[in-house]
Structure 1
Amino acid sequence: MEKTAIDILILAEVSHSCLSFLEKLAETVHMELITSTEKVGRINFDIAILYEKTKLQFLEKENLVPETASGRKLRCGTRFLFQENISHEKLTLFASHWPSRLHKSEKRITLGQKLRENIDFIYNKKIDNVILIGDYNDQPFSPSIVEGLEATKDIDMVKRKRKLLYNPFWRHLDKKNESHLFSGSYYHKNNDIDKWFTYDQMMFSSSFLNDKIGTWRLDIKSSHFHSDSISKNEIGFDFLSFFDHVPIYSKIHKI
């Protein structure tokens, strides 16, 4: 089974009943735990983060519940602000779990647009290092991602236009090769034509694409969803009998 060392682990669909387990897990692996499982009005947040405390310092978080013109509140995500321990450089992470696709497409575009407003607010504060991650229940080519978040697969465009987001998960709409077990990050067993979808994605600000010494850079080839079997013998249960999403990964490093 694929094993990867991590500095930040982001989880969705986390409930209060999970917190005791996550606290013990964080203690066991010597990581810090942040939770965003609050209820804001009628909206429940369900995000948890484990992070490597020797490398990052957590500064603040904010649950994003924008309101539409009609008065409807949306669960866009949670903003987490970190600071790297050596350079003191700041990193903004937007973690989202958007509603299922039962919602109308035009409302989904609004989700992207409202989250984009928060991203632009961060950019206007001259904070360049921004990462989006989440289960968007939309694919990389969906209007909510492309038009709402303004995220693209065109890396050259992102380098030229600072406010665009780069979405490397366009590359992962199918298997890499025949031996690759999964064809996406989300498994829908009842779909008659396509059972795999790339709903889980990470998107990066243009700052992660430059070659300036001392800055963070995205390892372009590192972004992927879990590629091999999740062995029942290793974890003690049949993974896809309990979960319909598989992990996704990306790597950033200082240059």
Structure 2
Amino acid sequence: MLKKALLLFAVALISLSSFAKGKKDITVVFYNVENLFDTINNPDKRDNDFTPMGKLQWDTKRYNDKISKLSYVLSSIDKEELPALVGLCEIENRDVLEDLIDQEKLKKGKYRIAHSESPDKRGIDCALIYQKSRFRYIKQESINIEFPWEKEYKTRDILYVQGLVGRKDTLNIFVNHWPSRRGGQEKSEKNRVFVAKQLRKAVDKIQAKNPFAKIIIMGDFNDEPTDKAVAETLKAGNNRDSDNPMELFNLMYDMKVNGEGTYNFRGSWNMLDNLIVSNSLLNGSRGYQTLHNAGRIYRDKWICFKNKKGILTPNKTYGGTKYYGGFSDHFPVYFKLKR
């Protein structure tokens, strides 16, 4: 009887081990795809440049080439599998997203789309594409931004999406594209601080109901991890010793301090693309978790341009009105959630 019991116990352990190995990690990506416009003029948006007759001569050939290249990038980030969750910014509408997920490299992911039209006058939005089999969509909302001091200035909404991963892990995801540094970083900073306040309110609302809520904040913030809007207003830092589940941690903070970046401006690296998680995803005891050093920049040589100094920078689609035919002026960022 003892031998039989031990045998059954061993079989159970093997089965449990196999089940654990079968649980897939979840790769989470954010990518500013640099003006992914269709070729059709929308009279309600300032998209004239991105038409065949516009000054950028944005035609079907160039559009299809960019869509194809973006699909190659997204399918190459994780060598083992397609990312389960991809936040995107600088996309014009749902149509371009449909074209993207229909590319051969992404088709097997059977992606679904979370997106809403934002009031940005150029017509660019934020979106989330997700594998339906790995992220069970619950709901989405848009956080509209209205600046009290400049009513006419319309920027991108923050996209909030909630869904389930694994058996019962609820993820609260915010996809961002904060106002640009138009007019200079200092002059424009108050705009990003204001957006950070709206995002912080949304986070506080979730955490007031559940201090252990699992939150992912991703996006092009047009600010770096050490800048005021991110570090002070949003309160996303790099406190590795905190045991407060509600604290926010920026996975890109240390890389910024080490001089790395996702966007190269006049020879200087900027870490504008941020990945931020609630501490409950770092120090929790159940479900999906990640590590403090999990943040990564995807910058394989084939998506880069080598400048005169031999430095590899993002190979962009346009430089001003000059067509380079690259991928994007930003590198994608990503991390993994593990069980």
TM-score by length of 2: 0.62
Query: Which residue type is aligned with residue 298 of structure 2?
Result: H
- 2:167 and 2:217 mapped to 1: Cα distance? 22
2:291 maps to which of 205, 219, 224: 219
Task: Report if the CA contact (8 A) 1:37-1:44 is conserved.
Answer: no
For the residue of structure 2 that corresponds to 1:217, the secondary structure is coil
Shift of 1:124: 1.5
- 1:94 and 1:249 mapped to 2: Cα distance? 15
1:55 maps to which of 109, 128, 134: 134
1:22 maps to which of 91, 95, 100: 100
Shift of 1:32: 2.1
Alignment-derived partner of residue 235 in structure 2: 150
Aligned length: 235
Shift of 1:45: 5.4
Q: Does 1:82 align with 2:163?
A: yes
From the superposition, tell whether residues 109 and 54 of structure 1 become closer, same or farther in structure 2 (CA, over 3 Å): same
| 1:188-227 equivalence runs, <5 A | 188=265, 191=266, 194-212=267-285, 214-227=286-299
Shift of 1:153: 1.0
1:162 maps to which of 222, 239, 245: 245
- 1:8 and 1:89 mapped to 2: Cα distance? 14
- 2:237 and 2:330 mapped to 1: Cα distance? 23
Task: Report if the CA contact (8 A) 1:168-1:223 is conserved.
Answer: yes
- 1:47 and 1:31 mapped to 2: Cα distance? 20
Alpha-carbon deviations, 1:120-141, whole Å to 9, x = none? 1111221610000000000000
| 1:1-255 equivalence runs, <5 A | 3-4=77-78, 5=81, 6-16=83-93, 18-25=96-103, 28-40=107-119, 44=123, 46-70=125-149, 72=151, 75=156, 77-84=158-165, 86-102=166-182, 104-126=188-210, 128-157=213-242, 159=243, 161-173=244-256, 183-188=260-265, 191=266, 194-212=267-285, 214-231=286-303, 239-240=315-316, 241=324, 242=326, 243-254=328-339
Shift of 1:57: 0.5
Shift of 1:53: 1.9
For the residue of structure 1 that corresponds to 2:102, the secondary structure is helix
- 1:11 and 1:18 mapped to 2: Cα distance? 11
Task: Report if the CA contact (8 A) 1:15-1:46 is conserved.
Answer: yes
- 1:12 and 1:75 mapped to 2: Cα distance? 9
From the superposition, tell whether residues 171 and 79 of structure 1 become closer, same or farther in structure 2 (CA, over 3 Å): same
For the residue of structure 1 that corresponds to 2:205, the secondary structure is helix
Task: Report if the CA contact (8 A) 1:83-1:89 is conserved.
Answer: yes
Higher Cα Rg, which structure: 2
TM-score by length of 1: 0.80
Shift of 1:197: 0.6
Alignment-derived partner of residue 235 in structure 1: none
Which structure exhibits the higher relative contact order, with contacts defined as CA atoms closer than 8 Å and separated by 6 or more residues? 2
Percent same amino acid at aligned positions? 23
Which stretch shows the higher mean deviation, 54-63 or 44-53? Answer: 44-53
Which stretch shows the higher mean deviation, 14-23 or 48-57? Answer: 14-23
Alpha-carbon deviations, 1:40-66, whole Å to 9, x = none? 486955123222222210111111014
- 1:169 and 1:3 mapped to 2: Cα distance? 17
Unaligned runs of 5+ in 1: 177-182, 233-237
From the superposition, tell whether residues 56 and 202 of structure 1 become closer, same or farther in structure 2 (CA, over 3 Å): same
